[in-house]
Structure 1
Amino acid sequence: MAHHLDLNQLAQHIKQWGQSLGFQQVGICDTGLSAEGPKLQAWLDKQYHGEMAWMARYGMLRARPHELLPGTLRVISVRMNYLPAEASFASTLNNSDLGYISRYALGRDYHKLLRQRLKKLGDKIQTYCSDINEISFRPFVDSAPIMERPSAVKAGLGWVGKHSLVLNREAGSWFFLGELLIDLPLPIDQPVQEGCGRCVACITICPTQAIVAPYTIDARRCISYLTIELEGTIPEEFRPLMGNRIYGCDDCQLICPWNRFAQLTDEEDFSPRASLHTPKLLDLFAWDEEQFLRITAGSAIRRIGHLRWLRNISVALGNADYQDNIVLALEKRRGLHPMLDEHIEWAVNQQLTRRVAQEVQVQSAQKKRLVRVVKRGLPRDA
């Protein structure tokens, strides 16, 4: 089949079609990811994957995309920007009354959108090749054990930064990745040079020190893992460090110098939903399960369920500045589930401890004022 096609021309068409479908960049690589296998195994051996059993279950299959779709010869890797124009990073993170949601989750769940676009790209390739023969292709967006970041790097979309995310010189890291496996021997693209140098900003800024070494994440310490992947109790040592982050964490991206060049998304589906954009924690905590399911329909947030949603918000409320109504709201949620009760108990204790500290601070300030008043009333030689 392939000798009847001008594969170089087809590769150029694929990149043009990809951009017309909303992808900011399209690259092509082979399926040779065997060099990544030992790295993945070493990471798994250290239990850095935590409770994500599926990471270990599929193991080295991730380094063999040709086994996911027999006959696969190439991986077409794509990226799509998701950063909204009104990201409101600082104004949300710096206000303990608000809940911070990772910017990728503010709009529609990206999985379906990217998969549909990749399917359309495959259909365009199929149509182009239809006079010659049938081709086989399959789109993936976090939907199977495939190493998307190493594939993106081999395809020239960027390099893996020390925070383990793919970085691009013209776009930073605020983009989604997707793959289209295909059985055509298309010409491959070349990797780009790494650009992190000696910078360790992401390692330094991580609230829980989850970046245990350059390019290595201990997921068990990562706020994204703790708020999204972890199903049970959040270890107490990490709760104060989570601040008001209730779904994911963007700190390592926020500090990265390359994100000065980040590009805003053109996709309306990635625009923040009003109910999730700079939301008040107490408002979110008041949602019952029906409200949670209705408001998060079509959102990535829905996958954690109402119980974990309340768990995460409980921790954030525990970290908030003291308010009587926070304690009242927490107390009203007791009894729903033992796991949630544990986090509520911790949060209430945090709030009460903060109230005592505030009272001590007020008393100290009043005492100092009283001393100054008394001193002003005494004779000069007193």
Structure 2
Amino acid sequence: METKRDLRLDFFRGLALWLIFLDHIPSNVVNSFTIRNFGFSDATEIFVFISGYTAAYVYGAAMNQHGFLVAGARILRRTWQIYVAHVFLFCVYLAQIAYVARSFRNTLYSEEMGVFEFLRDPDVTLIEALLLRFKPANMDVLPLYIALLVGFAPLLWLLLRRPTLALLGSIAIYGVTRMLDLNIPAYPSGHWVFNPFAWQLLFSFGAWCALGGADQLRGLLLSRAVLAASVAYLSVSLAIVVTWHVPAWTVFVPRWLAEWMYPIDKTSLDPLRILHFLALTVLVVRLLPRDWPYLRSSCLRPLVLCGQHSLEIFCFGVFLSFAAHFIIIETHGGIVLQLFVSFAGMLLMTIAAAVMDWFKHIDGRSRAVQSTRAGPARSSP
């Protein structure tokens, strides 16, 4: 397992956070250019895969060095941190929406963002929110991540000993979920927007790649035939997605293909979405080597910084996306305002990540100084 940090992971996780922020702003011209408009998958696949990869990278080393109990405890501690962050975000997000809806006397915000049920019946809804069954709009990613981490310790243990068996087990769970339509119920109705029984496949695949699976796939990734197939699949998916935005062009999609293909389900991670993500991965591996010098350049530094502080930046992005949506709606903003709030939001996310990175370095230097001062004291008589 490699020990040097792969900045491509931070870069693409930061990119995914920016794309998620933009996709969460309705009626915004900028999100017409996000990845979801060019193929079947979107930023969520990137985020979940990299989350699985980094989780295995970090906790796999801990499990090898300290055993299952210590690594499992660390995973559960991280799960608790993310749960607390989700609850905190839920409270702030709800307060933000309720304040705007009341101040501007527009109840449509409550209905649109999925918090009308809470305002009507707060006691029951709050309990359901703590149980992760009630989630306002744009707050479905963290509960998915929490659910994936809860069961990650046994999966990691198996990945370190029988990686192929672990991956096959994940594929089997995905297949059964698709066949039986398994999911977790949501409140007040429906199911989870991101089905954890299905999305665990991408998370597990990322973990499998981090623990040596990527080396096993190197031959396929460097194959010209695989590259050609990936480019062809991406081209076909792009052509099909274009017909979603230009209804007159739907006649070019054969009826038998449309009946077989639609709907391309995001909730239970449709296989077409997985294939699209894998095709993109092939291109990334071929075009962006691990030692690509631009990853350390100042122009890409904002994305890398956001990716290195993903939890905090995701929560901040959810807050900013509603603020941007509110500004656009209340001011009837045109393209110029939509561009402004979009790039202002990404700038604020970058500033927040830079501040957190600065505090991290300050804290690291303080600990180093304390350790240096404490060293002689411990060695003296």
Please state which band the TM-score falls in when normalised by the shorter chain: under 0.3
Greater C-alpha Rg: 1
- Indicate the structure with greater strand content: 1
* TM superposition score normalised by structure 1: 0.25
